[in-house]
Amino acid sequence: MKGMSLIVKTITNIMIGFIFLYGVYIILHGHLTPGGGFAGGVIVAGVFVLRYLAFGGSKAGEKKSSITASVFESVGALLFVIIALLGLLIAGVFFFNFLPKGTPLYLLSAGIIPFCNIAIGIKVGAGLFSIFLALAAFKYIMED
Amino acid sequence: MSIIPLYFAIPLITAFAIPLLGKISKTLVWIVATVVSFVLFILALYGIALTQETSMIVYRMGNWPPPLGIVMAFDSFSAFMVLVISIIVFSGCFFSLRYIGHFTGQWKFYTLYMLITAGMMGIAITGDLFNMFVFLEIAAISSYCLVAFGVDAEELEASFKYMVMGEIGGLTFLLAIALLYAKTSTLNLADISNTISSIGMTPFFWTILGMLLFAFSIKAALVPFHTWLPDAHPAAPAPVSSLLSGIFIKVLGIYTTARIVFNIFGLNRANAPVFFNILIGIGLLSIAWAGLSALNQKDYKRLLGYSTVSQIGYIMVGFGIGNYYGVAGAIFYILAHALGKGLLFLTSGSVVHRTGTRDLDKLAGLGEAMSTTAWSYRFGALSLIGLPPLVGFFAKLFIVLGAIKAGLLWLAIIAIGLSVLTLSYLLKIENSVFMKKGKMADIKKAPFSMRIAMVFLVILVLLTGLGFQTLMDFLIGPAANALLRGVEYAQLVFGSFSLNF
Amino acid sequence: MTIFVFCIALFLIGLYAIVTKRNLIKIIIGFALIEYSVNLLFALIGFRRGALAPIITKVHSAHNFVDPIPQALVLTAIVIALGTTAVMLAIALRIYERYKTFDIAKIKKLKG
């Protein structure tokens, strides 16, 4: 896919970090404010989609990013299930909140929920970006 | 530590680990998937042993008590479904080694396969309505992808058709959940059951039951809504066809219907005779219509697809009869049909693998060249037709017994009479593929792993037939009682001993 | 009562699109309508007049909130709908690649 004009590229260069930071903020504050792993993950995926649309991508680059995205997707999902299984191992209950709960309304609180949010954020960010790649560049990616 | 969550946690972990393992080696992925499905089989046997001691095991996710959190309600019927799922998953996985060999991106196949497994296991053990919907969609979305796995024109078309029908069903289920939540303010199956018992079956609940029956009829491919199945199941790779026809539609359509009708709405033949007659009517229509359609098919797998619709009708008739023998017969038929049809689809897979065609006119003379496949086909077909020492006979016998005990002699006669249809369409394949002398002489035997998978199912067909009395005492009987105890289900969920605290 | 009637009407409009339209993309839009109607119904079921959003802050502790469970269900249903729609679009694209058309009247290699 070809990239877009110089104006778009410059603006994207400036904005991309802030958008990514905002996505991370939404993920990390999932247990305190509206949002969470899914919403933040969508914003993080948006960063990669924006970068791809603005700068374009080569055939090889698309293949490489689809492989990276699929690895991250698996890692996120595995993290989530492993957190749930840790509850089973430690306390005998699947999805048991085995960490200390902390004070409500502080960043380090709510036990395992922030970690679940991080896992979901990785999974959704990588998953949505691979859906985008699968729809936008499916001819190259599905060949092998 | 309880094993109940492991039934869906293990396949889920495997599904997400496979993309990482797939980077290392293709065979490794197959080994992992097969070992995992064998572990599930062992766990399922252990689950049966657990339900012999306590009739209901309630597992609280995250240790939240029942009406608030999600619970897993594991009773004899769930244990039975989990066992049948694990058998078909294991044989299909073993069969896949050589069959999937020529596809690219094999690890995607095993990921989707494990996701289907996780979804079906989840449906079978969950005690929460929305959780059931989520697992149903996990299984359904993976099955859409697996039907389109070959990405040929026909497969894509079949997948889209299947997806349109399946999603209409799934979203109707979601709408029914929303309406039910508006009335009862709960999603826990046991709590819903309590609310319905205290309010009584108002027209509102009948409407919801109608919507649920519509949704599950689509998933189970009962006759007015069966059109997707003869396209979708043949289009999938053979081990997946075996999984979809063998157990998938039964978990998504039949298990959910039975659980909701008997245990949640608390209906039985005494308090809702019209509803149960409708079930019998749908079942008979499916048997006759799909059986007749199967007679003029020219495609190996498509014929088996119509046969599946027809056989599902028998299960529905068994539940419609609604007494102990009828329900036990229906549950027995779930097992018999899973083994029999799973086996027949695996034989179709090995025939397609060696000859490259599914056209009954072109296939000929495979009876000698592929003798293991031919004999596996014969055992599976005879079991489905209902020959005495095999498992299919006992399943039909119990349904007929149930019909006679319920005073429906005409139904018993029709059910036996319609077996002629099964006999004639299954003989058609036998005649043209295995008996007919033909030119296809240089066909090699099916690969070793395929033969192992088929022989495994043949042994099970024989064993379950010969040991039907034991099976009835430890597996089918308790499962039928679990359904027939009706709204007592709710008291068991709220008041029962739970494994963790 | 009104919310049921209107949401189910929207559901039926989506179903009408799925059944009568011949273009694959329009069928997918029909599904989007159905999903939207069910999600809307969920959100409206949980609504209470004059109630607050169910977020615990330092100012509002738990009192007079709208029902948060339907909102959680809607989020889950949206994620599932996202997955379904993505699979549908991917398969529709592949069908277009094979048949060079989105018209279901021209896509009929299968008999019935």
CA atoms of B284 and B403, how far apart (whole Å): 13
For chain A, give the longest Cα–Cα distance: 57
Contact criterion met (CB < 8 Å) for A134 and C57 = no
**ipTM of the modeled complex:** 0.93
Of C55, C56, C79, the CB nearest to A38: C79
Candidates C25, C28, C57: best to mutate against A (most CBs of A within 10 A) is: C57
d(C-alpha A137, C-alpha A92), whole Å: 45
Per-residue pLDDT at B496 exceeds 60: no
Q: Is the pLDDT of residue B456 over 50?
A: yes
For residues A70-102, b (16+ Cβ closer than 10 Å) or e, as one string? bebbbbbbbbbbebbbbbbeebebbbbbebeee
Average pLDDT of chain A is 84
Instruction: Name the residue in chain A with its Cα closest to that of C89.
Output: A135
Structure tokens at B1: 């530590």
Q: CB-based contact (8 Å) between A71 and chain C?
A: no
pLDDT score of B497 more than 70: no
| Distance separating alpha carbons of residues B417 and B222, to the nearest angstrom | 20
Cα B267 to the center of its chain, rounded Å = 23
Predicted pLDDT at C112: 47
pLDDT in tens, B388-447: 888 889 999 999 999 999 888 898 999 888 888 899 998 888 888 888 777 666 777 878
Q: Where are the alpha helices (DSSP H) in B185-323?
A: 189-199, 203-220, 229-235, 238-243, 249, 256-258, 273-295, 300-321
Among B66-75, B233-242, B376-385, the minimum mean pLDDT is found in B66-75
The neighbours of chain B, by the rule of 3 or more Cβ pairs under 8 Å, are: A, C
**Three-state DSSP class for B448?**
helix
Instruction: Tell me what pLDDT residue B500 has.
Output: 42
CATH numeric code, C2-99: 1.10.287.3510
Whether B501 has a pLDDT exceeding 50, the answer reads: no
Residue B443, pLDDT score: 75
Mean pLDDT of chain B: 88
Q: For B102, which DSSP code?
A: G
Q: Which residues of A touch B104 (CB under 8 A)?
A: 144
Q: Quickly tell me which residue has 């060696």 as its tokens.
A: B354
Q: What are the residues whose beta carbons fall under 8 Å from the beta carbon of B167, sequence distance 6 or more? A: B140, C31, C84, C88
pLDDT of residue B36: 92
Nearest to B54 by CA among B68, B81, B73: B73
Kindly state the helix (H) or strand (E) to which residue B415 belongs, with its residue range: helix B409-417
pLDDT digits (tens, 9 = 90+) for B32-63: 999 999 999 999 999 898 888 888 888 888 77
End-to-end CA gap in chain C: 41
User: Tens of pLDDT along B115-144?
Assistant: 999 999 999 999 899 999 999 999 999 999
Q: What is the distance of C-alpha C34 from the center of its chain?
A: 5
For the beta carbon of residue B169, count every other beta carbon within 10 angstroms. Answer: 23
Tens of pLDDT, residue by residue over B277-305, are 999 999 999 999 999 988 888 888 899 99
Q: Which residues of B touch C37 (CB under 8 A)?
A: 175
pLDDT tens readout for residues C99-108: 888 888 887 7
Dihedral angle at the C-alpha atoms of C74, C75, C81, C84, nearest 10 degrees? -140
Each residue's pLDDT expressed in tens, for chain A with a length of 144 residues: 677 888 988 999 899 999 999 999 999 888 888 888 888 999 999 999 888 888 877 777 777 888 888 888 889 999 998 888 888 888 777 887 777 777 777 777 778 888 889 999 999 999 999 888 888 776 655 554
Chain A residue closest to C93 (CA)? A135
Could you tell me which residues are beta bridge partners of residue B58? B73, B498
Closest CA to B291 of B159, B384, B360: B384
Where are the domains positioned within chain C? 2-99
Residues 42-101 of C with CB under 8 A from B: 42, 45, 67, 69-70, 73, 76-77, 80, 83-84, 87-88, 91-92, 94-95, 98-99
- The Cα–Cα gap between B100 and B94 comes to 11
User: Rounded to the nearest 5°, which phi and psi values hold at B383?
Assistant: -65, -40
- pLDDT for A32 equals 81
Give the rounded percent of residues in chain B with a pLDDT score beyond 90: 40
Handedness of CA B97, B99, B103, B107 (dihedral sign): negative
Ranges of residues in chain C whose predicted pLDDT is under 70: 56-63, 109-112
pLDDT value at residue A142: 52
pLDDT at B499: 44
CB B372 within 8 A of CB B446: yes
Rounded to whole angstroms, the Cα distance separating B446 from B212 reads 43
